[in-house]
Chain A
Amino acid sequence: MEDISQKPSHRALWLGLLFTMLGPISNGLYFLGFPASAVVWITVLLPAVGLTLVLIGLRRAFGQSPYRDKVGGAIAVALSALVLAASVGVFVLSRRLPQPSTGTPQMGQRVPDFTLPDSAGNPVALSQLLAGSNAGGPPKGLLLVFYRGYW
């Protein structure tokens, strides 16, 4: 087996590629119960570290003469750059959200009443939910969860 420790450029390239590939895979951390707020950063940080290492490896490869693996190094850089660009793209798009403004209900404000159909098509009023018309007494509170929808 080849002793890669004798070739620091190879070591940095391979380590960089490993970090790059761990980037997309790290999305799975969410399903393992890691907090999503941390996972979204990890998915970008890993490929960023990966590309940095690959670039270090490439620089070393060009510094060594004669060095045989300049093409491999260039491919590694292209791959890492692509994965990083895609990861950053998803990150930026996921954060492109309108900021809550003065029209959004604030802490301590009473929210406006409304009536909307439920998933069975029956009209339901907020006031009706607050009054607890369905079962038991009135609830202590309501948790309104606005979500993007599954379309």
Chain B
Amino acid sequence: MRGIEKRLGEFQAQGVVPVAISVDPPNVSEDLRRKAGLTFTFLSDPKTDVIRRYDLLHSGGGPEGHDISRPAEFLLDRSGVVRWENFAEDVRVRARADQMIAAARTLQ
């Protein structure tokens, strides 16, 4: 998240808008945004409706066995079609901002 924020200007230059999604309720996301100085949009899916629809549910993956989202990134073009995607194999290894900006450059 901080990697994206740090290079937000480059995403904007490519015309790409980052959007973060998790089970965190809005107030938790707002806390994170404020503490970490994140300015892009955070969406909340506490009931995992969208996470399930995207088949990204990590059942019991959260503390006390809460259902959460597995880490994943999708780059959509202007019509909402997936042009690049990444699924972390290790929760500690996320897509790097470099990779995502390189993918953003390929968008028409």
Interface positions of A (Cβ within 8 A of B): 30, 35-37, 39-40, 91, 94-95, 97-114, 116-121, 124, 126-127, 129-130, 132, 138-151
Contacts and interface: CB of A to CB of B under 8 A. Distances in A.
Contact of B54 (A36, A105, A140, A151): A105
B9 to A, nearest CB: 14
A contact face: mostly helix, strand, loop, or mixed: loop
Contact of A114 (B4, B53, B61, B104): B53
Contact of B43 (A36, A110, A124, A139): A124
B4 A108 contact: no
A140 B73 contact: no
A107 B74 CA distance: 9
Interface residues of B, number: 71
Contacts of B11: 143
A95 B61 CA distance: 11
B contact face: mostly helix, strand, loop, or mixed: mixed
Given A111-B76, A140-B104, 16 more contacts: A36-B93, A100-B72, A105-B85, A111-B54, A114-B50, A117-B43, A119-B29, A121-B26, A139-B16, A141-B16, A141-B78, A143-B4, A143-B74, A143-B75, A146-B70, A147-B71
Nearest to B62: A151
Given A111-B54, A143-B100, A97 B70 contact: yes
A116 B44 contact: yes
A146 to B, nearest CB: 4
Contacts of B42: 118-119
Nearest to A130: B80
A99 B91 CA distance: 13
B22 A143 contact: no
Contacts of A126: 80
Contacts of A117: 26, 43-44
Contacts of A148: 22, 58, 61-62, 68-71, 91
A36 B97 CA distance: 13
A98 B52 CA distance: 12
Interface in B1-41: 1, 4, 11, 14-24, 26-30, 32-33, 41
